[in-house]
Structure 1
Amino acid sequence: MKRLALLLVTLFALGSGNAQIIRQPIPDKLVVLTFDDASISHARFVAPVLKRYGFGGTFFICEFPPNFFDKSKYMSWAQIRELDRMGFEIGNHTLTHKHVNKLTREQFTAELDSLEFRCLTYGITHPTTFAYPGYDTHPTAFSVLKEKNYAFARVGGSRTYDPTTDHPFLIPSFSTTGTDKQRVLAALQEAKNGKIVVLTIHGVPDNAHDWVTTPPDLFLEYMKFLHDNRYTVIALRDLAAYVNVEQAFTTIALKP
């Protein structure tokens, strides 16, 4: 029955002219975990939990001003390097969490370059994915990301990602912020019929910005739910196994 469902999704894509975007049928229960802002809890709490379950994840890094060097709030670059060595993805969130709609082309490029240089300096894999600070987008950012060979970029939106209609630079996500467990669990159950659920998670807890905290006990519940219900949990870069990025760039229009 499951194989039949996957076949039907593939046939639908063929009929809609978007089959070439899909490299292989997208399984139900496919979830992408993304973590923003280099919270210290990502190294101390989140990474060990993910490792225990065998989950992938993307950590979108920035040197969040003005307190990045307060290590009670943010990771050190040595800790970020350790995440990379553990097999997690390090993504670009600009160097200083600047909203891209407030930057010139040159300023945005410099923000990307600076974060990339930090990765080079600390021996961290070169970033190929991006998350928009504050979820703000701008056409200038799209062209710069394309020129710099980024594959995927994440926004907000509180909906599933459909690779046949959503541009790779506008991948929507659900936030886990707060204590509304049913909202998050309901979102996870939307990962079906060719749709992918991407989660945006800040600190667990977030010592720098408590208004975006995900409580640790709830985070553990979410991860156990994913494990017990046999979800496939990946990093953002791993979408390339399912999505032909170049074909999607050609086929899907960018709509800021």
Structure 2
Amino acid sequence: MLRRLSLLCVLLILLEAGLGSVGAHAQVLRRPVPDKLVVLTFDDAALSHATYVAPLLRQYGFGATFFVCEFREPAFADKTKYMSWAQIRQLHRQGFEVGSHTLTHRHVNRLTQEQLGAELDSIEGRCHSNRIPRPVTFAYPGYDTAPTATTLLPARGYHLARAGGNRPYDPVTDNPLLIPSFSTSGPDTAKVLPALRQAQNGRIVVLTVHGVPDVAHDWVSTPPALFELYLRYLHDHHYTVVALRDLARYVNLPEAIRTIPPRYENLK
């Protein structure tokens, strides 16, 4: 009899723990995450984002986030390599999201909070001058993360921040200020298409794309023919393709930031 009671107690404890987990997940999620949900993000204000990428995205009806900065090398003033702010403003007018990538692409693990705040101020000021909404999403330069950023970003009104890591984003275990992503850089479709197929069972695939092509930093370039292949694949296989900000439809971001501990490992 005592053994049965002990077993019953254990079962009740396990059930209660399971229900608690379900309840926690329910608080983080506003609605179930559908399969085949993909986020497209583009880094570094490459000229091809305005001249080549945006027209293709509009053709397919896909959303996207463009994380902009002003590189010092090669200089942002070289408009054969980078977008102008007029072109960035046009991306906003076309319905795309403009996010912050710091002003000068400085890695946040090398910055004090004051220095990071100044970088954010500069991009926000340029957005304001060009009638672009103040950014609420952020991308880590070089995929380097740090507690400095995860402390400052929410205080400044940023709700989502993207890193690297080559794995899908799980909204119930990944803090939204440390969202992993897959890179499309290079000629290897064998890493991108399998990555897209991981958008299932509550996980979201976020892609990081640099220039298409990237003439400023050719080592992160995505070949145009492959980029078009990826877009056709997403379209033909009925994926939902959104900007990073759109994840707020599915995730209770303040609750997720509050309750999911930051994990800085495996995000490069």
In the superposition, the TM-score normalised over structure 2's length comes to 0.90
Secondary structure of the equivalent of 2:219? helix
- Measured after TM superposition, the shift of residue 51 of structure 1 is 0.3
Larger radius of gyration between Structure 1 and Structure 2: 2
Distance (Å, rounded) in 2 between the aligned partners of 1:60 and 1:243: 21
Structure 1: 5+ residue stretches without partners: 1-10
Mapped pair 1:206 → 2:214: yes
Question: Sequence identity, in percent?
Answer: 62
Q: Is the 8 A contact 1:13 1:19 kept in 2?
A: no
Residue from 57, 65, 90 that aligns with 1:50: 57
Mapped pair 1:195 → 2:203: yes
Distance (Å, rounded) in 2 between the aligned partners of 1:16 and 1:177: 39
Indicate the residue corresponding to 2:71 in structure 1: 64
Mapped pair 1:231 → 2:228: no
CA change 1:74–1:12 in 2 (3 A) is farther
Distance (Å, rounded) in 2 between the aligned partners of 1:149 and 1:51: 28
Secondary structure of the equivalent of 2:72? coil
- Measured after TM superposition, the shift of residue 45 of structure 1 is 0.3
CA change 1:34–1:93 in 2 (3 A) is same
Distance (Å, rounded) in 2 between the aligned partners of 1:14 and 1:136: 30
Indicate the residue corresponding to 1:6 in structure 2: none
Distance (Å, rounded) in 2 between the aligned partners of 1:81 and 1:250: 33
Q: Is the 8 A contact 2:113 2:149 kept in 1?
A: yes
In the superposition, the TM-score normalised over structure 1's length comes to 0.94
Distance (Å, rounded) in 1 between the aligned partners of 2:150 and 2:139: 12
Residue from 219, 228, 231 that aligns with 1:220: 228
Q: Is the 8 A contact 2:174 2:263 kept in 1?
A: no
Distance (Å, rounded) in 2 between the aligned partners of 1:14 and 1:255: 19
Indicate the residue corresponding to 1:5 in structure 2: none
- Measured after TM superposition, the shift of residue 106 of structure 1 is 0.7
Letter in 2 for 1:15: V
Q: Is the 8 A contact 2:182 2:195 kept in 1?
A: yes
Secondary structure of the equivalent of 1:156? strand
Structure 1 runs, 4 residues or longer, greater than 6 Å off: none
Mapped pair 1:253 → 2:264: no
Deviations 1:177-211 (A, max 9, x none): 01111210000000000000000000000010000
Letter in 2 for 1:24: R
1:152-167 map, 5 Å = 152-167=160-175
Structure 2: 5+ residue stretches without partners: 1-17
- Measured after TM superposition, the shift of residue 146 of structure 1 is 1.3
1:76-95 map, 5 Å = 76-95=84-103
Q: Is the 8 A contact 1:152 1:236 kept in 2?
A: yes
Distance (Å, rounded) in 2 between the aligned partners of 1:252 and 1:16: 14
What's the C-alpha RMSD, in Å, of the aligned pairs? 1.3
Give the paired residue count: 246
Letter in 2 for 1:137: T
- Measured after TM superposition, the shift of residue 250 of structure 1 is 1.7
